[in-house]
Structure 1
């Protein structure tokens, strides 16, 4: 652990990344923001707690505590959109998922500020992922990178209708072996929850950048609808209803399915499936 970057090293051929659980806003960014609550609104709330069993499987976990509103470490560092033609947020977002401005008028980050944040936070986060994958590849033929996310079930600006519980992204199977995606999707299909593969979320920059099946690195993004473990208001959000608390009893069924998903990732990496 180093300040805002938390790394737990395991020996199993599985890396679980948490790019959006952070809520920290550095002192040199906070004065420019309209509201700390808005700046934390789109966090992947409680996901590191939901997956806290991953280390018991021997997985390596990598998590940043910096808010995605400061810099989104799952975006293309060049600033190019991952979903051209669709609404999305930027490398250094200037608005929320709902389109609310994050910054005071005229205080939006300029090119120099974006470059500074990229150097301070984006580069070390991805250096950690690169290092951990390389370490595990020294002893394992294959490594699975599982990028863990969550989002509200209804965000009209980003997608139509209600999001399925499990949103599996493999960049249309370019980021991992199709058999691994089929196994994960099969587990989701056998669960009480709905799912989709490569729907609205095909995988962010992490999945697309690191997923190189021919080199033994298989990347999968899991975007969960957060209703599986917390209250997920369908209407307007405010300080009183968001974020809602983590609900361990509600989460138990989801955690059971997620455990059943991570175990085959390990079997696949070890050549046992």
Structure 2
């Protein structure tokens, strides 16, 4: 398995969770290349599948239902990134437990026993939809919790996991920017093969999200799109996923900081009912390695139009 390649330096993140979060320690990890030769950083924030016992006990849903929000196996699909000189950061905690692709305090006050901090964002569209930093639902409007959560429990998750995760991610991006003069964050996700809305029933193989041009130079997204299409993938931009908090927060093209979200159709590599890989997994993994290699080794600092397009 590529993550165990002896040429890679692997280090667990220095996260010290409180006693009720011990099941998640370490909550995430960074797989470093032997030599960092790329300005790219690959991030898989939603592929975690380690469910704390206390969380399962507090949920009204069984583990299979909770897993519907996972970007299952995405970290494995992009596990090749360190062999091309780019670090891979991946979560161990599940998205249903904590979503780092949200603002730190996007919280629904109806979910909690006690008063939220006054600076909490309680009115965002994501909170209204049940998908805040601490999600209320998974799947098709299935409520996760049977009772309200103590506010302190939510704040513990943010302090012990969310903030260390983003500190580590910022360090990776900042280090790339200092070393290469440009940084590219590839935020790796997967999506259900079928949407719920009438206009979103059948989805493409790949959706690339750059916040409609706000988070990434056109030169970079053009490159990535060309690579996917050359391998036969049906690829679209920004619909239905333009990028979440991570893409928005880390992308500043005018400062040579670029962030691009990649959504992979789950039907390409797994059975969405059983949550098991199918025969297409290995073929997809090999094709994604071609894309990852091209992106990680591209001369981003000299790629035409980066700063000009951003300005």
TM-score (norm 2): 0.76
Output the CA distance in 2 between the equivalents of 1:59 and 1:223: 19
Q: Give the direction of change, closer, same or farther, for the CA distance of 1:183–1:203 in structure 2 (3 Å limit).
A: same
Q: 1:13 to 1:219 in 2, by over 3 A?
A: same
Is structure 2 residue 28 aligned with structure 1 residue 5? Answer: yes
Question: Given the superposition, is the C-alpha separation of residues 98 and 84 from structure 1 closer, same or farther in structure 2, using an over 3 Å criterion?
Answer: closer
Cα distance, 1:46 vs. partner?
Answer: 0.9
Aligned to 2:166: 126
Deviation at 1:39, TM superposition (A): 2.2
Go from structure 1 to structure 2 and tell me whether the alpha carbon gap of 1:39 and 1:159 turns closer, same or farther (over 3 Å shift).
Answer: farther
Q: Structure 1 or 2: larger helix share?
A: 2
Conserved 8 A contact 1:187-1:257: no
Question: Residue 74 of structure 2 is aligned with which of 34, 37, 47?
Answer: 47
Q: Answer whether contact 1:97 1:155 (CA < 8 A) is retained.
A: no
Q: What's the offset of the Cα at 1:52?
A: 1.6
Matches within 5 A, 1:70-81: 70-79=97-106
Contact kept, 8 Å, 2:79 with 2:88, in 1: the verdict is: no
1:134-173 aligned within 5 A: 134-156=174-196, 160-173=200-213
Report what 1:237 is aligned to.
Answer: none
CA shift for structure 1 position 270: 4.3
* Partner deviation per Cα, 1:77-116 (whole Å, 9 max, x = no partner): 2315876799562211111121111111x23x35443222
Alignment: residue pair count: 261
Instruction: Report how far residue 137 of structure 1 moved.
Output: 2.0
Q: Give the match for residue 275 of structure 2.
A: 243
| Consecutive unaligned residues in structure 1, runs of 5 or more | 233-240
Alpha-carbon distance in 1 for matches of 2:240, 2:104: 21
2:47 equivalent to 1:21? yes
Kindly indicate whether residue 291 of structure 2 is the aligned counterpart of residue 261 of structure 1: yes
Looking at structure 2, the residues matched to 74 and 84 of structure 1 have their Cα atoms a distance apart, in angstroms, of: 11
Contact 1:167–1:197 (8 Å) recurs in 2: yes
| Residue from 91, 105, 117 that aligns with 2:133 | 91
Question: What is the aligned-residue RMSD (CA, Å)?
Answer: 2.4
Instruction: Check if 1:271 corresponds to 2:311.
Output: no
Change (3 A) 1:85 1:118: closer
5+ residue gaps, structure 2: 1-11, 14-25, 107-120, 305-311
Pair 1:116–1:84, CA change in 2 (3 A) = closer
- Deviations along 1:98-152, one digit per CA (max 9) or x if unpaired, are 1111111x23x35443222111211111111011112222211111100000122
Output the CA distance in 2 between the equivalents of 1:146 and 1:129.
11
User: In the alignment, which residue of structure 1 is the partner of 2:219?
Assistant: 179
TM-score normalised by L of structure 1 = 0.86
Q: Which shifted more, 151-160 or 20-29?
A: 151-160
**C-alpha contact 1:18 1:63 (8 A) present in aligned 2:** yes
Counterparts of 2:288 and 2:204 in 1: how far apart (Å)? 15
Q: Which has the higher contact order (CA 8 A, sep 6+)?
A: 1
